[in-house]
Amino acid sequence: MSPQPRRATRPRPARPRVVLFNKPYNCLSQFTDKGSEGSPRATLSDFIDLPGVYPAGRLDKDSEGLLVLTDDGALQARIASPKFKREKSYLVQVEGTPGAEALEALRVGVALKDGPTRPAAAREIGAPDLWPRDPPVRFRKSVPDAWLEITITEGRNRQVRRMCAAVGLPCLRLVRWRIGDWTLDGLAPGEWREV
C-alpha cells in the first residue's frame, strides 16, 4: 500500500487578514449552503465579499454575534481550538430565574453527554442594549426571563445552550460578544470590519 500524498499547505500570509463579523440570526457560518442550491438560507457570502478568508470556528444558525474570519490557517486554528483556551463571552437570555446554585454549577463545570465542561465565568446581568432580533424571541407571560454573561474557554457544539439547559435555564437568545480581545463593539448585525 503506497503512502498517502501530503496535502500542500498554504504559506502563511506576511500580514494575516482578520475580519470581525456580526453574524445575524438565521445565517449559516459558512460561505455556501452545500446541497441546497437556491436555498433561502443566508450564508456568509450574502454579507462578506473578501476572497480567501474563512471562519475561525462556528456559530450556530440560531445564534448571533461575533464571528472571526482570517486567511491565516494557523491563526484560524489558534482561535478555534479549545487547546489554546481562548476566552469566548456570550450574552445569554434564559427562561427562568437564575439562582445561586445554577450559576455556581456553570462556574464549576457542567456534566454534559460528551463529558464535563471546563469551569466558566457566569453572572447575571441586566438586559443588554442589543439590536432587536428578527424574528423576535417568543415570550411566555407566565415565565420570567433573565440575562447572563457566560465566558468559556472551549467551543463544543451548542455548548452554552446545553450548559444552560443542564442547569434548568433554557436559552432564548444567544449572542457571542467577545473572542479574546475582539468584541462586537460598533458592529450592527450583518456588518464586518478588518482589524
CA dist 160 and 169 (Å) reads 11
Q: Where are the alpha helices (DSSP H) in the chain?
A: 73-80, 100-108, 159-166
Instruction: Indicate if 185 belongs to the active site.
Output: no
SS3 4: coil
CA gap 42, 24 in Å, rounded: 9
Catalytic residue among 33, 46, 49, 60: 60
Does residue 135 have a cis bond before it (omega within 30 degrees)? yes
Q: Catalytic positions, please?
A: 60
